[in-house]
Copies of this chain bind each other. A is one copy, B any other.
Amino acid sequence: MLKGLSRAGLGDIGSDERFIELAGQYGFDAVDIDARGLIERNGVEGAKELLQRSNVVIGSIGLSVEWRQSESVFLDGLPKLTEAAAAAAALGCTACCTYILPSTDHKPAAFMAQATKRMRIAAEILGAYGIRLGLEFVGPHHLRTAWKNPFIWTMEETLDWADAIGRPNVGLLFDVYHWYTNEGTLDDIRALKPEQIVHVHINDAPDVKIEDALDNGRLYPGEGVIDLAGALGALQSIGYKGVVAQEILSKSAPEGSPEQLLQRSKAGFDKVFAAAGL
């Protein structure tokens, strides 16, 4: 597995170029950034060199097209999605992810039908470039009622949705926080095939009742109560070899310089990877 970083949890780390450099310095293998922007600023060859110099790959890009609003907004974003996919492919990135809010103001079944079609289109475009689409189920209980109607939030529902979308390149963004807030088990992970997982997010939860764990109340790996050693071990046991990227969503910016936060992140990864025997 590759140790990865997103910006969430690193404070104001600056440009993506700086982010890549620091990720490499602190021993991380992957960063989640905007491939297209990196190319626009550095050219394809320049971007490749930047990544190679720091021995870092792009773990995942975000799904740039807005699939949760009107049809016209969705369509407006498709040309940029095609360019984003081409850019990611040019830099060797094979994952693109989006999250699923667990409730919605739309009529849920009708929204699911619309979103399924939109995701199939997005997946077809990404798949043309060899990129997979990871769907992130979102577990925190408070979000299940944050909008009028329940949508979906479990791993099983999300796998069913991937089946409905029906393209071979659709799978999960597996975030341990959402697995934890869904009261997932290690056996749930072991039941997955590695190719069902497009990307992994790692972080930790405070020692509160599961139903009180907030989406933006996450801790650094190893600083909380989630069985991360177990989760990593289970991912390893099924043969997952992709990126495990830190994503620490928090109400207020974390204290400390980016370097201190990177050190803290590195320490967290080292601790939980070691605990998992990796």
Contacts and interface: CB of A to CB of B under 8 A. Distances in A.
A111 B109 contact: yes
Tell me what chain A mostly uses at the interface: helix, strand, loop, or mixed. helix
Given A109-B109, A116-B116, A194 B160 contact: no
A120 B166 contact: yes
A98 B75 CA distance: 23
A78 B109 contact: no
A128 B117 CA distance: 9
A160 B86 contact: no
A152 B109 contact: yes
Interface in A148-173: 149-152, 157, 160-161, 163-164, 166-168
Interface in A115-131: 116-117, 120-121, 124-125, 127-129
Given A109-B111, A112-B113, A114-B160, A86 B78 contact: yes
B194 A164 contact: no
A151 B79 CA distance: 32
Contacts of A109: 104, 108-109, 111-112, 150-152, 157
Contact of A128 (B75, B89, B108): B75
Contacts of A149: 108
A6 interface: no
A145 to B, nearest CB: 14
Contacts of A142: none
A21 to B, nearest CB: 29
A107 interface: yes
Interface of A: 75-76, 78-79, 81-83, 86, 89, 104, 107-114, 116-117, 120-121, 124-125, 127-129, 149-152, 157, 160-161, 163-164, 166-168, 193-195, 239, 241
26 contacts: A75-B86, A79-B79, A79-B82, A79-B83, A107-B157, A108-B108, A108-B109, A108-B149, A108-B150, A109-B111, A109-B152, A110-B152, A112-B116, A112-B164, A113-B164, A114-B164, A121-B124, A124-B124, A124-B125, A166-B167, A166-B168, A168-B168, A193-B195, A194-B194, A194-B239, A239-B241
